């Protein structure tokens, strides 16, 4: 039996499909017409960068499931290519696929730092903590070249505006100087997500993300710099990764994480079909078991988008996961996420005032 991956699996990419987005009028399906050499791998799709023409940088929300009402996402799409990413369906808004398009066709806003200054300087603006990199990772590979996230953090730090960051990338260590200065004023915290400690599984689930062991080193580096670090076990995937819950928390706590949380796997919109295909491609013997347990937590459905239940699920299996997390959280002595200080915020000077 051949050990080669299926031909539609691209090395270094997480998606096994590139489905049409839900707003498209038509859909295409690959077929074997007998002319292709199925032994030859498909060429690896290249990553492209386009310009995001959004008029604003800060996005606002009123979700009761998250602890913030505003966020900044330096990039649209994410080259990490995580097969489970809940943000994949957002690429439909750009007329693109949540599959390979999401991880190969990226967009960024070159003038984001200047636009952020204008928004913070607006007379009507009221300061509250802003979450950076919530939809897609602010420290994905292209950030190493573009430096857009660092430029945004420079604006926030200079204005003494509180912020939090969610990432799974060791590249955040580059910006420890900025984040540590803000943290010393109780104006910054970082959340590092961990899915599994199994390197082989991580390569298939999160092909271009930082390796799990390296993320633990990042937690340690941030913590030693005086930056509050939360470990987020996310997503928690029934059968595939949930057995690691306690070990992930223990390793993160040993590395210096002060707080912890978890999120059950979410499969909105096109992601339902995409993740099922990923399971049948990479974990065929567990595929049905994973989906059955997930449905146990989602009222018999692949996903339940209701506020209040979408992050943790419901039912006996979800309650078991909740109890396991609470016991480990208490045993390991995790604290609560600290409140960030908004009282020191100093709006940026308007452009015309900088002449004097």
- pLDDT tens for 27-78 read 666 655 555 555 555 667 889 999 998 889 999 998 888 889 999 999 999 9
Query: Of the candidates 216, 218, 205, 294, which has an alpha carbon nearest to the alpha carbon of residue 252?
Result: 216
Residue 124 has pLDDT above 80, yes or no: yes
Residue 103 has pLDDT above 70, yes or no: yes
**Phi and psi torsions of 219, nearest 5°:** -60, -45
**pLDDT band at residue 212 under the 50/70/90 scheme:** very high
Predicted confidence (pLDDT) per residue in 233-276, tens digit: 999 999 999 999 999 999 999 999 999 999 999 999 999 999 99
Q: Which pLDDT value is given to residue 226?
A: 97
CA angle 294, 300, 305 (to 5 degrees): 75
Instruction: Supply 284's token pair.
Output: 């065929």
CA angle 51, 55, 60 (to 5 degrees): 115
Q: Which residues pair with 194 in a beta bridge?
A: 233
Predicted confidence (pLDDT) per residue in 336-353, tens digit: 988 999 999 999 986 544
Cα 117 vs. chain centroid, distance in angstroms?
25
Q: Which pLDDT value is given to residue 4?
A: 44
Number of neighbours of residue 40 by Cβ within 10 angstroms: 8
Number of neighbours of residue 263 by Cβ within 10 angstroms: 17
Contact between 225 and 176 under an 8 Å Cβ cutoff? The reply is yes
- Helix (H) / strand (E) containing 317: helix 316-331
pTM of the complete model beyond 0.85: yes
Contact between 297 and 317 under an 8 Å Cβ cutoff? The reply is yes
Residue spans per domain, the chain: 48-338
CATH of 48-338, one of 3.30.750.24, 3.40.50.720, 3.20.20.140, 3.80.30.30: 3.80.30.30
């Amino acid at each position: 039996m051949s050990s080669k991956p299926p031909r539609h699996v691209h090395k270094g990419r997480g998606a096994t499909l590139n489905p049409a987005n839900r707003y498209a009028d038509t859909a295409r399906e690959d077929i074997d017409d007998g002319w292709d050499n199925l032994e030859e791998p498909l060429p690896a799709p290249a990553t492209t960068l386009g310009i995001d023409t959004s008029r604003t940088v800060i996005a606002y929300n009123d979700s009761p499931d998250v602890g913030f009402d505003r966020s900044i996402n330096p990039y649209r799409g994410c080259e990490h290519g995580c097969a489970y990413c809940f943000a994949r369906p957002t690429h439909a808004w750009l007329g693109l696929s949540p599959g390979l398009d999401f991880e190969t066709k990226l967009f960024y806003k070159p003038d984001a730092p200047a636009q952020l200054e204008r928004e913070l300087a607006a007379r009507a603006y009221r300061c509250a903590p802003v979450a950076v990199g919530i939809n897609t990772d602010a420290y994905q590979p292209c950030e190493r070249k573009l430096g857009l996230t660092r430029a945004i953090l420079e604006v926030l730090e200079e204005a003494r505006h509180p912020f939090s960051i969610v990432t799974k990338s060791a590249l955040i260590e580059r910006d420890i100087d900025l984040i540590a200065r803000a943290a010393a004023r109780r104006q910054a915290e970082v959340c590092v997500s961990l899915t599994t400690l199994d390197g082989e599984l991580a390569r298939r689930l999160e092909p271009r993300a930082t390796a799990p062991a390296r993320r633990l080193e990042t937690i340690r580096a941030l913590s030693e710099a005086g930056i509050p670090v939360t470990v987020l076990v996310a997503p928690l995937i029934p059968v595939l990764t949930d057995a690691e819950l306690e070990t992930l928390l223990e390793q993160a706590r040993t590395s210096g994480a002060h707080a912890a949380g978890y999120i059950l796997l979410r499969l909105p919109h096109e992601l339902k079909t995409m993740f099922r295909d990923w399971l049948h491609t990479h974990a065929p013997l567990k595929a049905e078991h994973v989906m059955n347990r997930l449905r146990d937590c989602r009222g018999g459905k692949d996903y339940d988008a209701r506020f209040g239940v979408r992050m943790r699920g419901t039912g006996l299996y979800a309650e078991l996961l909740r109890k396991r997390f609470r016991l480990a959280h208490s045993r390991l002595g995790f604290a609560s996420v600290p409140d960030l200080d908004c009282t020191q915020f100093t709006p940026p000077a308007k452009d015309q005032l900088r002449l004097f």
